[in-house]
Structure 1
Amino acid sequence: MTTHLDTSTSASAPAANGDDGAGLLPSPALPKSPASRLRWAAADSWTLTLRTFRHWARQPAALILALLFPVLLVLMFGYLFGGQMQVPGGGNYREFLLPGMFAMSMVFGIETTFAAVSTDAARGVTDRFRSMPIAASAVVVGRSVADMAHSVVALAVMVVCGRLVGWSWHDGLVRAAAAFALLLLLRFALLWVGIYLGLVARGPESLVAIQVLVWPIGFLSNAYASPASMPDWLGAVAEWNPLSATVAAARELFGNPGWGGESFAARHAVELAIAWPVLITAVFLPLAVRRFNRLDR
């Protein structure tokens, strides 16, 4: 759905005085001071964030399905397969599972970001925004703010689901808050992967290819099973999966059963849960910005 924006004025930049001699409204004057440019960019970014919120309000079915799909996976794995799963060191499988599902819901967010960005690019909406007198960063920042807000809601839904099936944190609210922060840090990093791939594909029909990429990465981790239960080579791959670092760190901070181990990845899960997202962001954020700046007008 394409949202009409008035191209005669910016979200926050003041209009220039005078007429252009052709009976058209002049383009707004660009702010000159760094503080004014920052306010201008923030206001334009918020305008485009609200655009996404309005899309979700008008088409709530897709949003609701995206929020409920991870819940379905919790019920399926927790109750349908959970009786056959053994937790290393003992413990309740659903308490083992939920931190993994929290992280998986962050990974699934790549699909939401990719679909939105690629659809706008394919329909020419992104090019239209780039031709408007708005801050160049507003399109990307507005998308990222909206998707991070969506991820906070998705995580809240998953926590409620977890509480209903018997999951809880056991090491205090501060450590639990740190675990949630690491989960959102992973989502922030993967957000730039979704933006970059969406700008490269420039078409929502490539979503299947993204799903083929996301699902193996998600399942080839410690989210559902311990790497110790896998063949040695496969367990090593799963252990060093960036998703596994966030899941292991969340289990440790929540005080939930974990897969343990004496490897470097097992002993430094929290550090890796910070390092991997920082590395992913450092790679894909510049790629996304450069790709956006090089789009054909």
Structure 2
Amino acid sequence: MSMLAYDGTAMLGRQLRRVRNNPGLLILSQSMPISMLLFFGYVFGSALAMPGREYRSFLVPGLLVATAAGGIMTGMFQAAQDTHRGVRDRLRTLPMSRAAVPLGQALADLVTTAAGTVPFLLVGLAMGWRIEGSALDAVEAVGLLLLFRFACTWVGIFLGLLTGSEEAAGQLGGATFMLPLLSNAYIPTGNLPGWLRALAEWNPISAVTTALRDLFGNAPVPGGAAWPVAHPVAGSLAWCAVLLALFAPLAVRRYAHG
């Protein structure tokens, strides 16, 4: 365990230096969610039945979770890039824990996501969104959001190691944009057809989004029939546990054995 902690910290530093040396990508990844918030908040907010401010209160938690789900795409691309360029093979020759490299990547992504959440929330506040729950609930909401991002990053790391190609990872990563659309992140699911509503409510993004809305005290929506949405905090924790228990060992094994 001490070896994993030492090696994981070293790989965390490597990944953070990688982010620092590519500021353009960092700026793009941090500014895109804010751009989407402004677009969806003012364009969709005027087109939907919800009044503008009410829709923005509904939207901010949804976009936070949609951005967290983007950890699948970033984790996939970085892992595939290291594999495609031979970096993984060089790192595997070093005497270090096999779990250190994917762990360092996941932790570095968590750090940059936490930093990027701050300006997003400030823009949301400027648009009229408010934290209407307690401070403790708000802290729990941010913690749950980061846990979900961490779990999604492990999914992406495994898929990136599995594809081993930057091009394939880029194409597959583009498909992840569909995941928030099949959830309650942007629109309420109450008026969807039965089969589509069930699919949306069993989407992990829906559970985490509902949990954040509850914890922030925002725009209450009627609870869904699916258990993860009817019990959003417990459902979100269950989804995170399932994703981590499944994909973290798979990613480490794939990294270690190719």
Partner amino acid, structure 2, of 1:263:
A
Task: State how far apart, in whole Å, the 2-side matches of 1:159 and 1:140 are.
Answer: 28
- Aligned counterpart, 1:162: 124
Q: Which aligned pairs between 1:83-232 and structure 2 lie closer than 5 A?
A: 83-87=46-50, 92-232=54-194
Structure 2: distance between partners of 1:86 and 1:102? 22
Task: Report the alpha carbon displacement of residue 282 of structure 1 after superposing the two structures with TM.
Answer: 1.3
Aligned runs of 1:30-109 on 2, under 5 Å? 38-87=1-50, 92-109=54-71
Q: TM-score, normalised by structure 2?
A: 0.94
TM-score computed with the length of structure 1 as normaliser: 0.82
Structure 1 runs of 4+ off > 3 angstroms? none
| Aligned-partner Cα distance in 2 for 1:216–1:117 | 21
Q: CA 1:250/1:112 → structure 2, altered by over 3 Å: closer, same or farther?
A: same
Distance apart, 1:91 and its partner CA: 6.9
Equivalent in the alignment of 2:210: 248
The structure with more helix, counted as a fraction of residues = 2
Instruction: Give SS of 1:92's match.
Output: helix
Residue of structure 1 equivalent to 2:257: 294
What is the SS of the residue equivalent to 1:225?
A: coil
Structure number with greater Rg is: 1
Separation in structure 1 between the aligned mates of residue 182 and residue 136 of structure 2, nearest angstrom: 30
User: 1:214: how far off?
Assistant: 0.9
- Tell which has more relative contact order, 1 or 2 (C-alpha 8 A, sep 6+): 2
Q: Distance in 2 between matches of 1:146 and 1:267?
A: 33
Q: Measure the CA separation in 1 of the matches of 2:23 and 2:134.
A: 35
C-alpha displacement at 1:97, in angstroms? Answer: 0.3
Q: CA deviation at 1:210?
A: 2.5
Contact 1:91 1:257 in 2 (8 A): no
Q: Does 1:263 align with 2:225?
A: yes
Deviation at 1:186, TM superposition (A): 1.0
Give the Cα separation in 2 of the matches to 1:294 and 1:262. 42
Task: Report the count of equivalent residues.
Answer: 257
Letter in 1 for 2:94: M
Residue identity opposite 2:124 in structure 1: G
Q: How far did residue 87 of structure 1 move?
A: 4.0
1:216-241 CA distance string (max 9 Å, x none): 11111000000012222212211111
Deviates more, 1:40-49 or 1:53-62: 40-49
How far, CA to CA, are the matches of 2:129 and 2:231 in structure 1? 24
Q: Return the offset for 1:147.
A: 0.9
